[in-house]
Chains A and B, each alone.
Chain A
């Protein structure tokens, strides 16, 4: 909530003027029953037609003033609520961009998207309604009571008794039914899940002949949804009848008290009419207020969800710049990594050093820590033990942006963004010229991809790159990384969809780059890394071998096992 107030401050004028105009309008509305009383007690009583016409015109004039006040109020409320939400949205998006990877993993992207979209809309609506109605409804309710006092203090006591009673009923029903509606929603989600899974698993379910069991389960779920809905429905259906009975009972008492006072000669008939009219205004406003409170509760929950993300700490940053004259590009010194919620170390006590311009192969089975290892280099995750150095500096002390400009990563699961091929390649370097782009395309073996497209570099890339094949996407993401001409290039299992010939051509093209970058190749295939200057073999996060292909074949049983299983598969073929 604090962020909503923070950004609402920028709209101080609007958020004060909105409610003020709204209250002005309400004030004029409150005078209407008094005018009617005046007409009855003066105009009609004295048969003064001119007085009646004047009073009616006054009512229309009040209507006009009320209309202009509301228009102003709606404008200020819209401006303040939309403006504040817009700033809040900016703040949230900015914060998401500055979170570290550990936090990103923990939060998950789908909930961040929800907070940026539907939660924001909730806040906007809630804020808008709050500015318009939060003050108005109570004002009318209490205003009506105050007006009643100006007419007759005895009769007004009926208001004093009715308002709290009505409030208790209206808000009580709301409070009871709100958590029940949550249960209904949860129950509906279970029905939804059952429907979806029944369709996605249709082959398995039918192969196992589970149709009847599925039906029974679905019937049970829709049955409990029905009971939940009926229960909460019966409670909410109470709201209107109960308040209706109460307000009429109050009106009856009011008229009776009014009758006593008229009989005693204290007030007149028109004033009883006015009292009755005030009573009817109360109910409408109380129900509006109750609905408003539901909206506000939702908006507050949304605002808190948004605030929880903005409150997350930003990624730590250092200030050192990579040294130019360091002999080693990357050094791992007894490095361990344990993810925040991981039970065991993903990387344990790994040490090796890589000279500038060398090519390093990283190999191991699924879950052996290959990706974790390379992610330590651009400091995506902080080492929990030991030191990772790039160009002679502990990465924790380096300026992150500068570090990452020197390290280009081609991640697994080649991801492209919507736009053109050119737009995607420019991610590597915003200022890259045509020549540089074409060079990167050539080296990454994606020339035929670009050539095969009608638009060339300007060919449209759909969201997620769905209009390209897996292999094409992989090559384009490699090109994107090459555009940055970084000193260190990390290929994380990024040639898995390429055939052997293309993979080999890619490797030799990268090797012939000048100046030659330091390259890390992560792979499951020994054929992709056997020519590397140095191979790091990982098994369960532990480095079980460092050396060249030949050395490892002699010394490292894990490497030998991997290599032989792949050779056998190919050779027996």
Chain B
């Protein structure tokens, strides 16, 4: 009983979901309503004209009675009429094609923009929870599938159905019995196609599974080609490859062969229909009531009748996929945006930051930060220390309002940050993270990221201050070198120097620094540490420390463990206390 009720509920929910999707779809279509209406009218007109032409041709043929019996006064006007109808059909088809394209591409563009714009307002909690690939695929693939399947599908469906009805009606006007023969026999070809595709499904699945296996193997081995060489495994790897290749070959032959039977099968059935029409038509001609010209028209129709059926059955599967894509897109758009921001603009902050009784958790059942109180005065340097997962990164998320505190408050210059505009709050921070993000573009664009209006002189002096000018000048095109996808590859240390340059250019009063790890060589590291020192002078700084030696001079060290600040004080105070910090300190020492 209970189960039944649940399924019922789920169906209701699904139905609600679908109707919500449709409402969204109509809303997206509204700006293109005129396009759609005109396109529908034009394609209706072209379908009717297109179907009339065989009848006209038939009527001309009936005038070709034999030697000296052709009535050219009757023939020529009809021929001109056909020419006019064909021209009108062509123009109508072209215009409606252009309109359909505009609608499809336009809606894709609008949706992408809407989704992209919405993503800019989504809370980071949403973005962090969803893999980049998934969101990108919604914006690109789902938007395409939606417009292809739904809009182009719609026009195909519309013209298809209209063609079927029109053909049927025109055939009926010629002869009822022949029409019935065609109407009964033609669907056979659709069944044949369905039958073949459902029976080849398992072969296709096996083929795509084996293909997947092949791709996985190839990706792994080609990426590890050097390791293959180190161990002289070339022959062994090749024989493993051959084993998969052989299986792939075997199942591909059957998948391709059986699936390629669809065309001949439907063509054969069409040939039978054609023969049936010829036979019955010819017999009716002898019996009277049908002329040879009408037979010609019927044969044209018989030839075309199967086409819309096949198209429609393809459209329907695509339609379902498109609807699923649409609902994925709209559900993303329905995600609530970040909580409202404050209205006050933080200008020229001095850099006093305070946490008072801050609590925070990513999910309610697992509290992460419990009751943190810190008071940081302008110009102080605060170091955050503790094992991985202790909540250091979370504090940064809270400072920048990437996430909001669950309880308590964070103030900058005495103002609750929830009362400030996000823009002005974030503009007061400079952030250098361990893994520097590079935007595809030139070095110049990357340094000016936070300050696009800066002059080149300002940019170069910032890069000099960050000790980045030296390596930038050695790049192939200096400041115009393209970085990122398809561009120059920088080392981790160089990227970090670049992000310090960004900060040097925008000179925010508060800094957040995630220290470099040890994989950087000694010399770059020396540059980075000099750049850090210069950058931090006179600014409030939060430093996430990985190595303790660099933070000894901090004004305050916060030792975090499991979301709590378990110790705080200066280096010497903490050592004297002999607690967790001094233990960490010694363990590191013991290592060397």
Contacts and interface: CB of A to CB of B under 8 A. Distances in A.
Contacts of A64: 268
Contacts of B275: 56-57, 59-60, 63
Interface in A172-214: 188, 191-204, 206-211, 213-214
Interface in B516-568: 518-524, 547-549, 552
Given A86-B245, A195-B139, A202-B124, A241 B230 contact: no
B340 interface: no
A161 interface: no
A562 B526 CA distance: 12
Nearest to B76: A256
Contact of B548 (A194, A272, A573): A573
Interface string A399-432: 0010011001101000101100000000110100
Contacts of A121: 211
A248 B84 CA distance: 10
B113 A219 contact: yes
Interface stretch (A44-52, A139-147, A152-160, A510-518): A44-52
B24 interface: no
A291 interface: no
Contacts of A4: none
A569 interface: yes
A101 B226 contact: yes
A89 B282 contact: no
Contacts of A132: 260
B271 A199 contact: no
Given A117-B215, A255-B61, A263-B67, A53 B279 contact: yes
Contacts of B348: none
A82 B140 contact: no
A163 B63 CA distance: 27
A207 B429 contact: yes
A66 interface: yes
B470 interface: no
A52 B224 CA distance: 71
Given A104-B225, A128-B256, A242 B261 contact: no
A116 B222 contact: yes
Interface stretch (A224-232, A322-330, A352-360): A224-232
A223 B90 contact: no
B189 to A, nearest CB: 12
Contact of A70 (B264, B303, B520): B264
B113 A222 contact: yes
A259 B521 contact: no
Contacts of B484: 197
B140 A230 contact: no
A89 B211 CA distance: 12
Contacts of A39: 278, 282
A527 interface: yes
Interface in B201-235: 211, 214-216, 218-234
B522 A365 contact: yes
Interface in B39-82: 50, 53, 57, 60-61, 63-70, 72, 75-76, 79, 82
Contacts of A83: 249, 253
B316 interface: no
Interface stretch (A273-281, A292-300, A452-460): A273-281
Interface string A36-77: 100110011001010011011101101110110011001101
B454 to A, nearest CB: 12
Contacts of A62: 271
Contacts of B248: 86
Interface stretch (B164-172, B351-359, B432-440, B458-466): B432-440
A101 B549 contact: no
B32 to A, nearest CB: 13
B432 to A, nearest CB: 10
B437 A259 contact: no
A369 interface: no
B132 A569 contact: no
A555 interface: no
B139 to A, nearest CB: 5
A522 B97 CA distance: 65
A564 B421 CA distance: 48
B242 interface: yes
Interface stretch (B13-21, B175-183, B291-299, B375-383): B291-299
B423 interface: yes
B23 interface: no
B330 interface: no
30 contacts: A36-B278, A52-B278, A56-B278, A60-B272, A63-B271, A63-B272, A67-B265, A74-B260, A74-B264, A90-B241, A113-B218, A117-B211, A195-B139, A195-B140, A196-B132, A197-B439, A203-B124, A203-B433, A209-B450, A210-B449, A230-B102, A233-B97, A237-B97, A244-B93, A245-B86, A366-B521, A367-B491, A409-B230, A411-B227, A573-B592
Given A192-B140, A244-B90, 20 more contacts: A40-B295, A47-B286, A52-B279, A66-B268, A78-B257, A81-B256, A82-B256, A90-B238, A93-B241, A109-B222, A225-B109, A229-B101, A230-B98, A251-B57, A259-B72, A262-B67, A417-B227, A463-B216, A464-B220, A527-B592
Q: Which 7 A-B pairs have the closest CB atoms?
A: A570-B592, A265-B67, A237-B97, A365-B521, A248-B86, A63-B271, A366-B521
